[in-house]
Structure 1
């Protein structure tokens, strides 16, 4: 093997190593996209807000953490998504209060603007294709859980993350994750006992 062919092989190998994390990150995002949307939709109750939250979380992961090891992507992504969902829920609550106080207001022509309406929580076509009633009951029961219990349940049970990664994503201790999950499961058993 000549020196120039050895240098070319090293360059190709280095280029492949530079491109591999981007392809791996792209694969991670493609793999997590559907589950993240379902989680966000359950928490927000509105598909457009869920799409926005997932896209924002993906963008932030890529722009700020693409150089992190692939083992850290899942907890980082779910933590970013969790914070984005909480932000959207807070904004929705503030918007609803402000619009309630001010009414719908008037546009430039003086016509009455409609007041802000909360998201329609009725099941959409995708939900009707599945077992509509049980899915709707489960979604409602999960949405009624306190926020931290809901997060622990969605990350541990639906996403399948381990306790350590869930604790990292939620920004709490592993013991807190176990406590929140135990309480969430207990609450869900009570609310969904008619399905057992």
Structure 2
């Protein structure tokens, strides 16, 4: 019994070690906050550990855990009426002095802000489909919906992102809308 538990723990530890960065990135894009993302991943991994026998036996353990992550985010979002994305001076890992790197940082900040304005289902569809580069069927599986719902939510989300980024491009002094 002890060997099985030790093997299971080691298998789970290896899974977490190799998947943590990607799960954290996905959670960050879903939540818009580093600390919330870390909490979200930890909560999802706790649930995955409890069900590790089923998770590890699944055809795609990554998809299983991603689904847990998306469900955990939805559960948390339902508890709050509105999420806010805050930007502080520590958000950029390295302060750039190069004009191009600063422009890129500004673009990322605008994108993060625009993502935070999307409704949760649209944000999930956009992040999973285009940032995580999952197929429509994989996104549908992660979100627990049909492929058609993924297509419509992603299309609506992209349209809102384009509009928000065009508006922010004009108001942020970047000249014409992008």
Q: TM-score, normalised by structure 1?
A: 0.66
- The alignment partner of 1:161 has SS state of coil
CA distance in 2, matches of 1:70, 1:26: 17
C-alpha displacement at 1:88, in angstroms? 2.3
State whether structure 2 residue 89 is matched by structure 1 residue 127: no
CA distance in 1, matches of 2:28, 2:91: 12
Q: CA RMSD in A?
A: 3.0
Aligned length: 157
State whether structure 2 residue 127 is matched by structure 1 residue 168: no
Query: Match for 2:126 among 130, 146, 153?
Result: 153
Query: Match for 1:81 among 69, 85, 96?
Result: 69
C-alpha displacement at 1:124, in angstroms? 4.8
Unaligned segments of structure 1, at least 5 residues:
1-14, 97-117
CA distance in 1, matches of 2:68, 2:44: 6
Partner of 1:35: 22
Question: Residues 150 and 120 of structure 1: is their aligned pair in 2 closer, same or farther, counting only changes over 3 Å?
Answer: closer
Partner of 2:152: 179
- The alignment partner of 2:18 has SS state of helix
C-alpha displacement at 1:171, in angstroms? 0.7
Measured against aligned partners, the alpha-carbon deviations of 1:98-146 in whole angstroms (never above 9, x if no partner) come to: xxxxxxxxxxxxxxxxxxxx87701453435373311110011111112
CA distance in 2, matches of 1:119, 1:182: 23
Q: TM-score, normalised by structure 2?
A: 0.71
Structure of greater Rg:
1
Question: Residues 189 and 55 of structure 1: is their aligned pair in 2 closer, same or farther, counting only changes over 3 Å?
Answer: same
Partner of 1:72: 60
